[in-house]
A and B are shown apart, each in its own frame.
Chain A
Amino acid sequence: MQKKYIDFTEEQLLQDPYFIKWVKHHKGKDDAFWNELMASNPPNLKEIESAALKLTIILSADKNDTSVISKDEVWNSVSASIYSSGSNIQPVIYKWLAAASVVVLLTFLGIYINSNSNTIEQTANTEVEKVQDVAPGGNKAILQLADGSTIILDSTGNGNIASQGQTKIMKIDGQLAYNAFGASTEMLYNTISTPRGGQYQLVLADGSKVWLNAASSIRFPAAFTGKERNVEITGEVYFEVAHNEKKPFTVKAGSMAVQVLGTHFNVNAYEDEGVIKTTLLEGSVKVNSAGQSAILRPGQQALLQPENSQLTTVDHVDVDKAVAWKNGYFYFDNSTIEDIGRQVSRWYDVTFTYEGKIPAGHFMGKPSRDLSLSKLLKIIELSGVNLKIKDKNVIVSE
């Protein structure tokens, strides 16, 4: 403590945490220290008094009335969200047409979060089965910089992790932000890819926000120089594009190009889905493909079937369904077990195999993406289909 209190200036005091604490909290035992300092040397007295005055003024800003928000009320909502594995999850209804209709509500089952895989080993016994489980996906992705070098984002610490020209790349948990610290001249392309079982969020240099689902990627410039903003994606990506009339934003997904001015939309271009879908939530986009184009309004969806290059538009789609993944849950709506299989296998990085006849029927529900695989499958099983986990494979039978 004695180190710097000789010949100090007012300026230094105002940046000294110990001094700040004393003026703010007036701790009795510190008074002796400061009083002695003031008494020992008249110039000290002047500096300290002047600094204390300035500090008092700085600390005198109008206070807000914080009683408007109750600490307990917010805590209760946090607890409720955690113990029901995710917020904003609607109660789940399951219907299996092939069998008698059985409607089950999820909430009373008491599902809770378990992000670690749970493997309970039991001694070898032909009558008792090993209980296997798989953890749900998480924030995993690989960033490839313009020079080809790669950074594995899962294991990198938070903070600024790299720079590309005049742009700094900052990471906080499952999100990357590109901050331009100056005007760039060259287009440095980066690619972020998520593995199966991964997801990631990104903020581009122009402020546009991007959510990547599992097994997806986006290729984009670190800074948007030039007259346009162009990115390329694979898999499933949700966008909230920053408005800029002077620089149109275009997303290329396979043979579909989505041109936007400023808007919120989801593009699903998984190859194994057989169709590329763009769903518009807000704003306006123009979808182009093989000479055809369609202008979408919010609530509409453009579908492109790559095999016959047919572009169609659908009105009044359920946009919640298109972006449920980004909001943390699966949305099964009249889905076949195969539809479910594809989505589940991407998020948990497992395969689905069908023993015997593929169970028919349609499935409805909105379970959280945070559940471990065994819990999710238990829910689906309630409707009469049989699901067993073996290593990273799900065996489906009737």
Chain B
Amino acid sequence: MLRPIYDNSKLWQTFKAGDKDAFQQIYDENFQALLEYGMRLTQDTELIKDAIHDLFVKIYNNKSNLGDVKNIRAYLFTSLRLSFLNKISREKKVVATEFDEHFPLDEYVPFDLHFSIENEYIKKESQALQVKSMVESLNQLSPRQKEIIYLQYYQELTYDEIAEIMGITVKASYKLNARALEALKKVLSIFVILNINLCIDSVALNN
């Protein structure tokens, strides 16, 4: 294989077939993003190194058993996140007495996303209060809400991909009862804080 493969599906298929160059291309294209994401979940560099190492070794070893993948980055993020949660909860011996019904595995995992007020944003005096209020609201978000913001704006992933990564189901084939729907709204309610109306239409739900 001489040149990089631009089509994600084709790249994944080529990798699954055993092509080592395709495997390296996947690594090259996604390492930085995985590292960035990892450093938001933990400060432990050894843990991040291990998690990324284990992720790539695991997908290579299991390549013939893997399914088709539309977005390679989203797939890698899903696997990395699961692996992180296992490692982090094992390291910290997380006491899981009360589980958050919406996020049973990651209740205690923080997310590093910190905002500060930059004067350059404040072009008019009238904006000062709005900017300050917004920065404060952002900093007060829960770790999972911050993670959703990060995945949508920093990694540019879609709602479906974010839901998959974080283990929330939005597949139309499952009837979401009222409680699950509330949970989803609560998680996406970051947008309410930022004065935005939630467009649930854009997410395929079946009620």
Contacts and interface: CB of A to CB of B under 8 A. Distances in A.
Please tell me the size bucket of the interface on B.
35 or more
A58 B79 contact: no
A160 B180 CA distance: 14
B182 to A, nearest CB: 10
B67 A157 contact: yes
Interface string A75-115: 10110011000110000000000000000000000000101
Given A74-B49, A138-B62, A163 B174 contact: yes
Interface string B30-55: 01100110011000010011001110
B21 interface: no
B197 A243 contact: no
B45 A160 contact: no
A396 interface: no
B113 interface: yes
A242 interface: yes
Contact of B99 (A14, A20, A207, A209): A207
B66 interface: yes
A64 B45 CA distance: 12
A29 interface: no
A250 to B, nearest CB: 18
B53 A87 contact: yes
Main secondary structure of the interface of A (DSSP, over half): mixed
A69 B35 contact: yes
A177 interface: yes
B156 interface: yes
B153 interface: yes
A14 B62 contact: no
Interface in A233-280: 240, 242-246, 262
B110 to A, nearest CB: 13
A172 B61 contact: no
Nearest to B40: A64
Contact of A71 (B32, B95, B116, B134): B32
Interface in B63-91: 64-67, 78-79, 82, 86, 89-90
A174 B156 contact: no
Please tell me the size bucket of the interface on A.
35 or more
Interface in A155-178: 157-160, 163, 166, 168, 170, 172-175, 177
B62 A78 contact: no
Interface string A18-48: 0011001000000000000000000000000
A366 B70 CA distance: 38
B61 A181 contact: no
Interface in A193-248: 203, 205-207, 209, 240, 242-246
Interface string B101-129: 11011000000111110100100000100
B104 A179 contact: yes
Nearest to A242: B96
Contact of A207 (B82, B89, B153, B180): B89
A57 B138 CA distance: 9
Given A71-B31, A81-B53, A177-B167, A17 B93 contact: no
A61 B31 contact: no
A4 to B, nearest CB: 11
B61 A243 contact: no
Interface in B154-186: 154, 156, 158, 164, 167, 169, 171, 174, 177, 179-180, 183
B36 A174 contact: no
A119 interface: no
Contacts of B177: 182
B96 A240 contact: no
Contacts of B113: 61
A115 B61 contact: yes
B64 A116 contact: yes
B131 interface: yes
Contacts of B53: 74, 77-78, 81, 87
B86 A78 contact: no
A370 B65 CA distance: 14
Given A14-B196, A60-B118, A75-B24, 10 more contacts: A15-B202, A24-B153, A61-B113, A61-B114, A62-B116, A74-B31, A113-B61, A163-B174, A168-B174, A207-B94
15 contacts: A21-B156, A53-B127, A74-B53, A78-B57, A115-B65, A139-B65, A157-B67, A159-B171, A174-B65, A182-B101, A182-B177, A207-B89, A207-B96, A245-B97, A246-B97
Interface of A: 9-12, 14-15, 17, 20-21, 24, 53-62, 64, 66, 68-69, 71, 73-75, 77-78, 81-82, 86-87, 113, 115-116, 138-139, 154, 157-160, 163, 166, 168, 170, 172-175, 177, 179-183, 203, 205-207, 209, 240, 242-246, 262, 370
The 8 closest A-B pairs by CB, nearest first: A11-B196, A64-B39, A242-B96, A207-B96, A160-B169, A78-B56, A81-B57, A61-B113
